[in-house]
Structure 1
């Protein structure tokens, strides 16, 4: 059996690296809570879509899953280290915490929160 945290983050990375905004938004529940680099908490797929649309399309992410745990049959949580980067050498390291919810047989991100682990390069 595959691990939903690894699977969702692999899909997230592929969509992020490819700057596929609609694929990114589809990974989230319709009512997802989202806290990215922006200090404002965002709610819902449309807000997630708008956030990722503003990210430069040459950015990529390196993801390492640190932990995943089961909350219930339909919910899992976990943590990852993510390094965002671009070809010019910009880098930003974050801890990412996620809560995933299974809806209609698919795992979606219900809650997404990043915390910077250092200064941007």
Structure 2
């Protein structure tokens, strides 16, 4: 698999779960020791991810565009993307997202997630 296809597979699943407001499905995309930095203090592991997304408003949706990909090792891929989060009746939030995904067998999970708001 290419770096692009690996990242799209993971990020498409992330987008789908975020758009569905399904925090447990978002959290299932992360490794047990994932470092997660949303737009507030960081957390570690799927429980932190689920808690973060459970607190997000209903109607939150994400759209992303991959900007760069790098294979760091056979089982590690880095992705850098621009993201726009939309919430009904609010202005969109533009951000950059950096993820490192780790492969185990045929599955890939997010081991590191760092989002930075623009402007």
TM-score, structure 2 as length reference? 0.93
Deviation at 1:96, TM superposition (A): 0.2
Superposition misfits of 4+ residues, deviation over 4 angstroms: none
Distance in 2, matches of 1:105 and 1:10, equals 16
Query: How many matched pairs?
Result: 117
Distance of 1:103 and 1:50 partners within structure 2: 25
Residue 37 of structure 2 is matched in structure 1 by: 35
Alignment of 1:44-63 (within 5 A): 44-63=45-64
State TM-score, norm by structure 1.
Answer: 0.92
User: How many angstroms apart in 1 are the aligned matches of 2:48 and 2:13?
Assistant: 19
Query: How far did 1:90 drift?
Result: 2.5
Deviation of the 1:14 alpha carbon: 0.6
Residue of structure 1 in register with 2:10 after alignment: 8
Q: Distance in 1 between matches of 2:49 and 2:105?
A: 20
Q: Corresponding residue for 1:108?
A: 109
Q: Which residue of 2 aligns with 1:65?
A: 66
For the residues of structure 2 that align with 1:104 and 1:31, how far apart are their CA atoms? Answer: 17
Deviation, 1:62, is 1.1
Cα deviation digits, residues 88-110 of structure 1 (max 9, x gap)? 13211100000000124210000
Write the distance in 2 (CA, Å) between the matches of 1:22 and 1:105.
Answer: 21
- Distance (whole Å) between structure 2 residues aligned to residue 103 and residue 18 of structure 1: 26
CA–CA separation in structure 1 for the residues paired with 2:66 and 2:49: 21
